[in-house]
Amino acid sequence: MAVGQTELPVLHPVDGVRLGTACAGIKYPGRKDLVLIALDENVASAGVFTQNAFCAAPVLIAREHLSTASPQVLVINTGNANAGTGAQGLSDAQAVCQASAALSGCQADEVLPFSTGVIGEAYPLEAVLKGLPDAYAALSKDGWADAAHGILTTDTMPKGVSKKITIDDCEITITGIAKGSGMIRPDMATMLAFIATDASLSDGLLKKCLNNAVENSFNRITVDGDTSTNDACILMATGKSALPLIEEKSGAFQKLCDAVSDVAEYLAQAIIRDGEGATKLVTINVVEGSSEQECKDLAYTIAHSPLVKTALFASDPNWGRILAAVGRAGITDFDINAMSIFLDDVCIVSNGGRAPGYTEASGQAVMDKDEITISINLGRGLHNARVWTCDLSYDYVKINAEYRT
């Protein structure tokens, strides 16, 4: 079960976006596993994709199509990643684009394909093609919740959120869904995210808004340090609200960017809350570093430490594991006497060793919580970074050991 699991909130429709979901039988019979997202004409779209060198066939094609045409349809399947499938995988992904275009009355290069699931297995083209008409027939502006379920793999809960803001007396809606649970360490997590707003932005500003949101959300989470072959995040702006085209130097642009970032951060945290076998949500804050990169590197060193993560699972205040991770993070000219480490507001390390006021009981009280913050103050600069991670449980090993069975 996810940490702090809650029901899927109300997902408000975004004018200009319709979603349809079908059970194509890709891996399991009767399971929602195929989603279509249909966009009205003149909807602006921007995307970021995995940096994995073995990126999946749909990633290659979606990148290409997004660079040359305005997307009209997004098609997402679960149960098969179509990664490591060579020329046949590319041909299959193109066939899905062509079939989706025929249903929607658009061109094949106006379709963006996305896949998630097992890597290296032949793509179930026949099942996907057979399921597309059902997904198309199900298209609805109220299809967000079904789509949130239809993109899941090992996830234990759907992930979605809606936010409404007011800009210049006009109501703006932002709605997003995501999937991800394991193989999470984005470089742009396995994660997919789709966010839409009815605001109006140019392609360039939309891309800038997306990059800013992703950098401070999906690029700040890790479950296991593994970057997927299929990661993608798409932001769509339909321009259907009453608000005129947003300009970059306006307060409206900053307000919209902040709201999109809030949506992305909520979805990113939901992925960590649902990390495979996770029992704790852990925030790692590194402050007063000499550079942002130094802070990020240190945060990820702690987040990726199996010893730290297993201590978190055991609710064991074994602060020596955190101390050792800090010490091996590669910080140059490191003055260990100038730094301090906290569990929530409990100081566990200062002046190069155990904090004078620290007690095992105070550390245990923090470690018993479901949500914990580890803070490291380097005392050597003005830069900060924050990363979200989870613990490493027995279930993580079981889930991934049995993934293909």
Residues forming the active site: 190
Q: 70: which 2 tokens?
A: 């305005």
Q: Which of 242, 286, 219 is nearest to 50 (CA)?
A: 219
Strand-pair partners of 387: 284
Among 148, 132, 178, 109, which Cα is nearest to 34's?
132
CA separation (Å) from 193 to 100, 148, 333?
20, 10, 40
